[in-house]
Amino acid sequence: MSTNITSQNPVVQKIISGAAPQAAQMMAARGMLPLPAMDLVEVLVFLRASESAEVKAAADETLAAQDAQTMLDLAQSAEVAPPVLEYLATSERAGRGVHEAVTLNARTPDAAIARLASATTDGALLELISANQQRLIRLPAIGDAVLANTLRTPQAERRVREVQKEFFEKERGAQQIASELRARGNEAAAEFLEQSESFEADDTLTADDAWLIASHIEVTDDEIDDSWLPSERLEEIFAETEEHRLANAERILAETSAEAGGIAPERISLIRRVMLMNIKDRVKLAMKGDREARAILIRDSSKMVSVAVINNPRVTDQEIESITAMRTVSDEVLRLIAMNRAWSRSYAITHNLARNPRTPIATAMGILPRIRAKDLEVMSKSKNISETVRRQAYRLSQMRTGR
């Protein structure tokens, strides 16, 4: 039996602590002790769990004899013992008013509310229970009990599901997936999901989406260098609307489809899921993702994301060569590639940069002296590059050939 005592009455304390003799317990169970109603009911609730069948039966009988107003007053009291409220919540004899008061009483144990939610046949009471978001968060079993009750109202169900979706489903899903990924040895994907914001706050992404995106993570935290990221006004830099993300996704789909002559349904799904992540998570994915993820994010309208792609430690020279040939890539990406000593040693990359109309003019002009004569001649006749670069290519070509 519980020995938690709320009453300051020494008689009550003696009975509940087990120090009172059997005769005194029996007198209390029969309601023969001169105790205030609150103290008496606390003792009776305790004695219902007595090992003595006789004491237990007497306590039940005395409790049943208490008038309805007394029980309602106790249910509304801010000083009543929690075990009394638990008894009232689970008592079939308590009326609608008592159950409502118990539901509203902050001292009522959450577990008692869960049992009440399971047993009640009153849809309005279930609505009242579901309105207490703090209880639903503290003890998810309350929400489960409401949903399991066939007499729940649509409003009660809606409230519970909203709380579960906001506070439990996505967070629990992402955490569980991260734990399983780590158990499988995929530390990189586990780290990404644990740090991600998109699977907790954004209700458009599901656990299935998390699994799919996690399968495209290959770089651990220890491998990346994020020192290039700006340290000031990050929130402003990362600001983005849902409409902007959707438009970004459709643009990438259109570009990819046009270049490849079509696009597989699986890739369409991946692109849309990736682009539904917030911009912070896309930056992380760009630095930690595999080749397929990089191929999507290099087209992102955010320069921060596309620059993150070339800061991915797994990006290859072949990928950089393809990036420098793209006509939709960010000019900042092309400028940074041109500044990279390792990549600038590749003639294919340098040649692509020189003839890409997206390359900043100053960067392209600095590259032209390294372009071969025959390629300069071709560039001097091209209408796909800027007039300034084309003219300089013509001059250099004439100098090389002595004309």
The answer as to whether 358 is a domain residue is yes
Residue 291's pLDDT is: 96
Residue 20's pLDDT is: 77
Residue 148's pLDDT is: 92
In a shared domain, residues 75 and 195? no
DSSP 8-state class, residue 329: S
The answer as to whether 228 is a domain residue is yes
In a shared domain, residues 97 and 158? yes
In a shared domain, residues 209 and 134? no
Of 253, 252, 251, 255, residue with least CA distance to 264: 253
The answer as to whether 177 is a domain residue is no
In a shared domain, residues 224 and 101? no
Residue 1's pLDDT is: 40
The answer as to whether 173 is a domain residue is no
Residue 15's pLDDT is: 80
CA dihedral for 22, 25, 26, 27, sign (positive or negative): positive
Token readout for 230 is 């700006």
Q: Residue 22: enclosing H or E segment and its boundaries?
A: helix 22-29
Tell me how far the alpha carbon of residue 226 is from its chain's centroid.
Answer: 23
In a shared domain, residues 114 and 204? no
Give the domain-ending residue among 313, 330, 365: 313
Q: Report the alpha-carbon distance of residue 317 to residue 322 in Å, rounded.
A: 9
Tell me how far the alpha carbon of residue 33 is from its chain's centroid.
Answer: 56
* 4-43 tens-digit pLDDT: 566 667 777 778 777 777 888 898 889 898 888 888 888 8
Residue 102's pLDDT is: 96
**Range of 362's domain?**
316-403
Task: Tell me the three-class secondary structure of 103-172, residue by residue.
Answer: HHCCCCCHHHHHHHHHHCCCHHHHHHHHCCHHHHHHCHHHHHHHHHCCCCCHHHHHHHHHHHHHHHHHHH
Question: Are 192 and 219 in contact, with CB atoms under 8 Å apart?
Answer: no
State how many domains the chain has.
3
The answer as to whether 398 is a domain residue is yes
Residue 36's pLDDT is: 87
In a shared domain, residues 139 and 234? no
DSSP 8-state class, residue 1: -
Coil, strand or helix at 299 = coil
In a shared domain, residues 212 and 240? yes
In a shared domain, residues 388 and 368? yes
In a shared domain, residues 70 and 128? yes
Question: Are 115 and 89 in contact, with CB atoms under 8 Å apart?
Answer: yes
Residue 122's pLDDT is: 94
Give the domain-ending residue among 280, 313, 346: 313
Please list the pLDDT of the chain residue by residue as tens digits (403 residues): 444 566 667 777 778 777 777 888 898 889 898 888 888 888 898 888 888 999 899 989 999 999 999 999 999 999 999 999 999 999 988 889 999 999 999 999 999 999 999 999 999 999 999 999 999 988 989 999 999 999 999 999 999 988 877 776 555 667 778 888 888 889 999 999 888 888 764 456 777 788 889 999 999 999 999 888 876 555 556 678 888 888 999 999 999 888 888 888 888 989 999 999 989 899 999 999 999 999 999 999 999 999 999 999 999 999 999 999 999 999 999 999 999 999 999 999 999 999 999 999 999 999 999 999 999 999 999 998 999 999 999 999 998 877 6
Tabulate helix, strand, coil % of the chain (nearest 5). 70, 0, 30
In a shared domain, residues 201 and 269? yes
In a shared domain, residues 131 and 211? no
Residues 6+ away with beta carbon under 8 Å from 162: none
The answer as to whether 303 is a domain residue is yes
The answer as to whether 216 is a domain residue is yes
pTM for this entry:
0.58
Neighbours of 400 (CB within 10 A): 14
In a shared domain, residues 292 and 322? no
The answer as to whether 123 is a domain residue is yes
